[in-house]
């Protein structure tokens, strides 16, 4: 599949006939114990690599198909490991490359539980974390010390959507072994009904990732792997619709007097937009907007009053969400300052005109009752 375009790889990845037996979707294989024909066959199944049944924790064709499909999305990658959540994937990726005495450079706009992992777990293991400005670019080089062993990027940033200069940071870091992490819980699963994470590794770090993952005992159940693989098949078409509706709602919000700023990577008002234009092929349905004045109570009234937007954390499903978010609580290297409170929206697959009408009703009363 490596010569094919992305949409084609999304459809065909991982569907090996020896795994599917001709069934279109790789079936759900449930297993803990694998029975061997002989002692010799048992020895032959070791070491346990994907494609070789050995023990349930090493997966079955259901998990291998998903892992292979994800690997095919990253040209040059050696393989993918699956995890029971995006957060577990972040933890395993960091543990694969860091040891006591090392230092990690973490983007200041990172997802809050990722920060918590650094402060709670890595710190106890003698691994120090320093936070950097998401817009640091090639200036990252000035932060390196002899102890710096990893740089963590998240672009666009959680909640505030700064788009990082990924090529400049990778060049300065002389990156040797990339790890690419996906919170598959979001758009890959796509229907808000399973949690899963993945780490795809370049050849230089693949063995370390594999060994660390095995030592941590990480495993994903076949039902969840099945759901993620099924979600992957429609990811291309879903993302295009999320992008189109998201841009329409974001453009409309930008013109409302109650809105100070819209933080959407595809709009010039988003910090790092020029990197998005250069490096990205599209946008998702996730962005934030800053309200023009008002306080927490006004914001809560606005979010509570929306009819079509659910209030909840994990975006990427087919449904729209609105969430009050406070980035200043999760920063140390930079300060978050804004004209008013922030709301993060996930634009789902509803008709975008209905979503705009819902937001218009909510914004009409913004601040008035307070």
Distance (Å) of CA 104 to CA 101, 146, 148, 151, 332:
10, 11, 6, 6, 15
Position 285 contacts ligand PLP (CB under 6 A):
no
The angle at the Cα of 63, spanning 61 to 64, to the nearest 5 degrees, equals 60
Q: Shortest Cβ distance from residue 189 to ligand PLP (Å)?
A: 9
Nearer to ligand PLP, 86 or 340 (CB): 86
Nearer to ligand PLP, 158 or 258 (CB): 158
What residues are paired with 106 via a beta bridge?
131, 152
Using the structure block, give the residue that is written with the tokens 């920063």. 331
Position 86 contacts ligand PLP (CB under 6 A):
yes
Position 166 contacts ligand PLP (CB under 6 A):
no
Residue of 156, 190, 197, 317 that binds ligand PLP (CB under 6 A): 197
Position 154 contacts ligand PLP (CB under 6 A):
yes
Angle between helices 235-254 and 352-364 (to 10 degrees): 30
User: What does the alpha-carbon distance between residue 188 and residue 208 come to, in Å, rounded to a whole number?
Assistant: 25
Q: Shortest Cβ distance from residue 341 to ligand PLP (Å)?
A: 21
Residue 140 burial (10 A CB sphere; 0-12, 13-18, 19+):
buried
Position 218 contacts ligand PLP (CB under 6 A):
no
What residues are paired with 80 via a beta bridge?
200
Position 111 contacts ligand PLP (CB under 6 A):
yes
Position 314 contacts ligand PLP (CB under 6 A):
yes
Position 158 contacts ligand PLP (CB under 6 A):
yes
Cβ atoms of 208 and 97 closer than 8 Å:
yes
Closest-by-Cβ residue to ligand PLP is 86
User: What does the alpha-carbon distance between residue 340 and residue 338 come to, in Å, rounded to a whole number?
Assistant: 5
User: What does the alpha-carbon distance between residue 146 and residue 153 come to, in Å, rounded to a whole number?
Assistant: 20
Q: Which range of residues in 99-107, 180-188, 205-213, 325-333 is near ligand PLP by CB under 6 A?
A: 180-188
Count of residues engaged in binding ligand PLP, rule: CB under 6 A: 14
List of residues contacting ligand PLP (CB under 6 A): 85-87, 90, 111, 114, 154, 158, 183, 185-186, 195, 197, 314
């Amino acid at each position: 599949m490596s010569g094919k375009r992305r949409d084609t790889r999304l459809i065909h990845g991982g569907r090996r006939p020896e795994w599917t037996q001709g069934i279109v979707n790789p079936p759900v294989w449930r297993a803990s114990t694998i029975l061997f024909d002989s002692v010799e066959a048992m020895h032959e199944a070791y070491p346990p690599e994907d494609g070789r049944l050995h023990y349930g924790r090493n997966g079955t064709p259901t998990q291998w198909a998903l892992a292979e499909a994800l690997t095919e999305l990253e040209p040059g990658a050696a393989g993918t490991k699956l995890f029971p959540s995006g957060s577990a994937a972040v933890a395993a990726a960091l543990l694969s490359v860091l040891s006591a005495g090392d230092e990690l450079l973490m983007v200041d706009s990172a997802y809050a539980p990722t920060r918590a992992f650094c402060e709670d777990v890595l710190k106890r293991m003698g691994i120090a974390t320093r936070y950097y400005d998401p817009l640091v670019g090639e200036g990252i080089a000035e932060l390196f010390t002899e102890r710096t062993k990893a740089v963590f990027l998240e672009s666009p940033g959680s909640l505030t959507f700064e788009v990082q200069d990924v090529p400049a940071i990778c060049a300065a870091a002389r990156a040797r072994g990339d790890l690419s992490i996906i919170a598959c819980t979001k758009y890959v699963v796509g229907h808000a009904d399973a949690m899963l994470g993945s780490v795809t590794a370049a050849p230089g770090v693949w063995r370390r990732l594999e060994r660390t993952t095995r030592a941590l005992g990480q495993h994903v159940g076949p039902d969840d792997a099945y759901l993620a693989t099924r979600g992957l098949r429609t990811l291309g078409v879903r993302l295009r619709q999320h992008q189109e509706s998201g841009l329409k709602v974001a453009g409309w919000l930008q013109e409302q007097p109650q809105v100070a700023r819209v933080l959407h990577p595809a709009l010039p008002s988003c910090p790092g937009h020029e990197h998005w234009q250069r490096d990205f092929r599209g946008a998702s349905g996730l962005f934030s907007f800053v309200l023009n004045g008002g306080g927490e109570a006004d914001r809560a009234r606005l979010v509570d009053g929306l009819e079509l937007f659910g209030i909840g954390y994990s975006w990427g499903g087919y449904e729209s969400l609105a969430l009050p978010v406070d980035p200043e609580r999760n920063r140390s290297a930079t300060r978050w300052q804004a004209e008013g409170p922030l709301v993060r929206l996930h634009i789902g697959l509803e008709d975008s005109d209905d979503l705009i009408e819902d937001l218009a009703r909510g914004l009409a009363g913004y601040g008035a009752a307070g």
